[in-house]
Amino acid sequence: MKSGNRWRPGGSSWKTDRTAPLAGSGESTDVIYGLHAVREALRAGARPFQRILVLRTDRQFAEITQLARAKRVPIHVEPRPALDRLVREGRHQGVIGVIAAKAYAEMDEILECARVRKEPPFVVILDGVEDPQNLGAVLRSADAAGVHGVFVPDRRSAGLTGAVAKASAGALDHVRVGRAQNLSRLIEDLQASGLWVYGLDARASKPYTSLDFRRPIAVVLGGEGRGIRPGVLEKCDDRARIPMHGRVNSLNVSAAAAVTFFEVVRQRSGADPVVAAVSGS
């Protein structure tokens, strides 16, 4: 583990279809479809996009692809049946924009939140949390524990859908959520900005309570079943586990998040997080 102090303060239907389920998710979401509608929505910048779905990235979709990349909106190439499931009768013209419930934040914006609060940064990185209920529950705990921001990857993650907003019980409106194309690079950028990055890993030798959460930190949690990917885990400064005394060997990611977040609260404030949670309910 590294030592030292890093932190440096300082012609189709152009309407929105609100009933189409996101392919494979079983949940409702907002989409914009058709070449003109998606292109103009990207130009205007008034709606936050989760991602753009296209049949292919050829000349027909070149302008939309360029606009999306310029605005850092992920582009996914999907087969026609996947698009047809989102928009009835196939009127999408080969392009669908999936709208987010909230705009994503930049890393600098999240770190600036910590500076404004005059607190050491406390951010969370979620590696592959694909269940909207789990993501919403993590965001709810993040808000309660004072997390400055949560990062999710472009892929292998639930987006900021209405289902996530509902599961968060309103917390999505108060927690900044960033999006990263490459989590390993994000970790390097956070480390360069003075943060210590800790991975929660069931195979680690030390308990999570032995980590120093009083310093500027990023806590990495893995997705359902798989945990943190090896390449991401290797980038962490240290790793720790939540000791388990029963017959199951791991917690649901949202439960693990809550346990860890309130250890941060305990270390930083000296308050008993259980008492604080009960008194605030």
The more confidently predicted of residues 3 and 40 is 40
| 265-278: pLDDT as tens digits | 999 987 554 444 44
Question: Which domains, ranges and CATH numbers included, belong to the chain?
Answer: 16-99 (3.30.1330.30), 107-279 (3.40.1280.10)
Rg of the chain (C-alpha set): 20
In order of 6, 26, 163, the CA distances from 265 in angstroms are: 21, 36, 28
Report residue 209 as tokens: 């309570």
The per-residue pLDDT of the chain, averaged, comes to 84
For 223-245, how does the pLDDT look when each residue is reduced to its tens digit (9 = 90+)? Answer: 877 889 999 999 999 999 999 88
Q: pLDDT confidence of 22, banded at 50, 70, 90?
A: very low
Q: Is 151 left (phi over 0), alpha (psi -120 to 50) or beta?
A: beta
CB 78 within 8 A of CB 23: yes
Q: What angle do CA 262, 263, 265 make, to 5 degrees?
A: 60
Instruction: Classify the phi-psi angles of 24: left when phi > 0, otherwise alpha if psi is within -120 to 50, otherwise beta.
Output: left
User: Is 151 within 8 Å of 163 (Cβ atoms)?
Assistant: no
Predicted local confidence at residue 5, as pLDDT:
52
Sorting pLDDT into bands at 50, 70 and 90, what band is 110?
A: very high
pTM, full prediction: 0.74
- The pLDDT assigned to 200 comes to 96
Between 88 and 257, the more confident residue is 257
- Provide the pLDDT for residue 158: 85
Query: Looking at the predicted structure, is the pLDDT value of residue 183 above 80?
Result: yes
Give the model's confidence band at 159: pLDDT under 50 very low, under 70 low, under 90 confident, else very high: confident
| Distance, CA of 93 to CA of 104 (rounded, Å) | 27
